[in-house]
């Protein structure tokens, strides 16, 4: 955090980073515990359907959020999204019927679309090209650091209430999830302090010509969407259900599962901060292939392993390498797209990814329910690795024609 204060960023950038810290803190608590809460009340098929619906609406409204961003600015879209997301989480945890639970699941998906999609355009808008690489590295690093703290806090809080107050697990999960919704809502305060962006009063040189817009929408925009569709479907078969996988295979407590997730997040922070040094040596495209060459075999080991320590090691390795790769992909994309199309392009990528995760969510838990936990999770890991490999292959083919600059440093953005 010393580096955060040492850098002479604009005041608006500091507020954006502060928002990102609070938002990541609250969202990490929700991410690690919500499935465990649902597991106490509903069947595994219902959980898969809820995850699927949430991500499908997340994907569908990513396009809407991109269009809104281009019209009214990412800051205003974020303000709306935070209100909707925190309300959706609160409502999902308070729901007394299946109908209301599904309704608030939809609201949560919409809220995620209006918040997560806006980070890249907002930070890009308030930064210049010279300092963007370092700024995005700091933004991703601090965000993941507080994801680590939030994930660890989630499990620790659940275990604390269980040990000292002997509360039922459902009540414990509700209390902690309510706190997550509150933190997300409080993150609105730094955004209110940011000066309004003047939509339509853009600096010279930012307007794209008709030819540039056509080039942006074909092929890069849609090929990137295809990359994210394969990637999202592959990831959606496994990552959203890792906590349920650990609970089913090793009967671990919420605190232990949170500790595993927080360790993976901490390793991700380390990988993100070393990304620039590795990239300077091997180049941006090669580092993506290197990360996936290690990460994808981890999925096969995950499906086969019955040893807890090996399983934990490959989960940490896969999550860290996968999420460390994503900011580099974002940088490569943003440098190829005119400023006027970045909001829409980023939204198409998010939409494709989340629709893939949503579709996989519907299928994955049905596969596990049908084949059993052993063969079911192994099948999901094999399918996941295959789809992610296809995604990386398409991305590499798309980016190969562009010559990489020597000594390029990746800007990191979520």
For residue 312, give the CATH number of its domain: 1.20.1250.20
State the DSSP string of 172-220. HHHHHHHHHHHHHHHTHHHHHTSPPP-TT-PPTT-PPPHHHHHHIIIII
Residue 82 clears pLDDT 90, i.e. is over it: yes
366 occurs within a structural domain: yes
Residues ≥6 apart with Cβ < 8 Å to 29: 150, 151, 153, 154, 176, 177, 179, 180, 183
Give me the number of domains the chain comprises: 1
Is 203 contained in some domain? Answer: no
- Give tens-digit pLDDT for 120-160: 788 878 877 666 767 777 887 788 788 888 988 888 888 88
Which string of DSSP letters, residue by residue, matches 117-182? TTHHHHHHHTS-TTTHHHHHHHHHHHHHHHHHHHHHHHHHHHHHHHHHH---HHHHHHHHHHHHHH
Please count the other Cβ atoms lying within 10 Å of the Cβ belonging to residue 130.
8
- Going from the C-alpha of 111 to that of each of 107, 185, 236, 277, the distances in angstroms are 6, 11, 19, 35
Give which of 125, 120, 124, 127 is closest to 143, Cα–Cα. Answer: 120
Helix residue ranges per DSSP H, 284-341: 284-304, 308-336
The whole-angstrom separation of Cα 58 and Cα 104 is 13
Is the separation of the CB atoms in 330 and 227 below 8 Å?
A: no
In angstroms, the first-to-last Cα distance of the chain is: 19
Q: What is the DSSP annotation of 277-294? A: HHHHHH-HHHHHHHHHHH
Domain extent, residue 123, equals 10-193+210-399
Provide the pLDDT confidence category of residue 401 given band limits of 50, 70 and 90. Answer: low
Question: Which residues have C-beta within 8 Å of that of residue 404, sequence separation ≥ 6?
Answer: 283, 284, 285
Alpha-carbon distance of 171 to 16, in angstroms, equals 34
Query: Is position 181 within any domain?
Result: yes
pLDDT band at 199 (very low <50, low <70, confident <90, very high): very low
3-state helix, strand, coil in the chain (%, to 5): 85, 0, 15
- Specify if 409 maps to a domain: no
DSSP designation for 402: S
Does residue 406 fall inside a structural domain? no
The dihedral region occupied by 130, where left means phi > 0, alpha psi between -120 and 50, and beta the remainder, is: alpha
Question: Look-up: residue for tokens 């699941």?
Answer: 105
Indicate the average pLDDT of the chain.
81
In a domain, 343, yes or no: yes
Q: Quote the pLDDT of residue 337.
A: 66
The DSSP result for 78-117, as a single string, is HHHHHHHHHHHHHHHHH--SHHHHHHHHHHHHHHHHHHHT
267-321, pLDDT tens digit by residue? 887 887 788 788 888 887 778 878 888 888 999 899 998 899 999 999 999 988 8
In a domain, 410, yes or no: no
């Amino acid at each position: 955090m010393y580096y955060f204060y040492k850098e002479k960023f604009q005041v608006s950038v500091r507020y954006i980073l502060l928002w990102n810290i609070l938002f990541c803190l609250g969202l990490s608590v929700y991410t690690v515990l919500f499935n465990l809460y649902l597991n106490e009340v509903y069947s595994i098929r219902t959980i898969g359907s809820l995850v699927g619906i949430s991500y499908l609406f997340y994907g569908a409204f990513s396009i809407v959020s991109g269009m809104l961003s281009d019209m009214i600015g990412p800051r205003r879209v974020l303000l709306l999204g935070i209100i909707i997301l925190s309300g959706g989480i609160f409502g999902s945890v308070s729901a007394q019927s299946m109908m209301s639970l599904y309704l608030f699941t939809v609201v949560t998906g919409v809220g995620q679309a209006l918040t997560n999609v806006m980070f890249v355009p907002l930070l890009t808008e308030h930064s210049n090209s010279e300092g963007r690489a370092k700024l995005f590295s700091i933004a991703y690093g601090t965000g993941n650091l507080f994801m680590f703290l939030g994930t660890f806090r989630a499990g620790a809080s659940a275990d604390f209430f269980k040990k000292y107050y002997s509360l039922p697990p459902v009540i414990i999960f509700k209390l902690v999830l309510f706190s997550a919704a509150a933190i997300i809502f409080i993150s609105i305060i730094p955004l209110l302090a940011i000066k309004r962006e003047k939509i339509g009063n853009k600096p010279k040189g930012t307007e794209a010509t008709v030819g540039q817009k056509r080039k942006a929408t074909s092929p890069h925009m849609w090929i990137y969407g295809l990359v994210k569709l394969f990637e999202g479907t592959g990831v959606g078969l496994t990552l959203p259900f890792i906590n349920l996988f650990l609970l089913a295979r090793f009967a671990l407590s919420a605190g232990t599962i949170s500790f595993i997730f927080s360790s993976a997040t901490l390793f991700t922070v380390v990988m993100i901060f070393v990304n620039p040094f590795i990239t300077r040596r091997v180049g941006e495209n090669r580092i993506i292939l290197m990360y996936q060459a290690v990460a994808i075999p981890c999925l096969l080991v995950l499906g086969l392993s019955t040893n807890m320590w090996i399983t934990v090691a490959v989960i940490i390795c896969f999550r860290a390498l996968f999420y460390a790769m994503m900011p580099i992909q974002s940088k490569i994309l943003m440098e190829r797209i005119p400023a006027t199309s970045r909001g829409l392009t980023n939204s198409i990528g998010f939409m494709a990814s989340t629709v893939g995760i949503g579709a996989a969510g519907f299928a994955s838990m049905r596969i596990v329910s049908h084949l059993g936990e052993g063969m079911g999770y192994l099948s999901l890991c094999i399918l996941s690795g295959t789809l992610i490999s296809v995604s990386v292959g398409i991305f590499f083919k798309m980016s190969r024609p562009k010559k990489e600059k020597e000594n390029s440093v990746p800007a990191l953005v979520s």
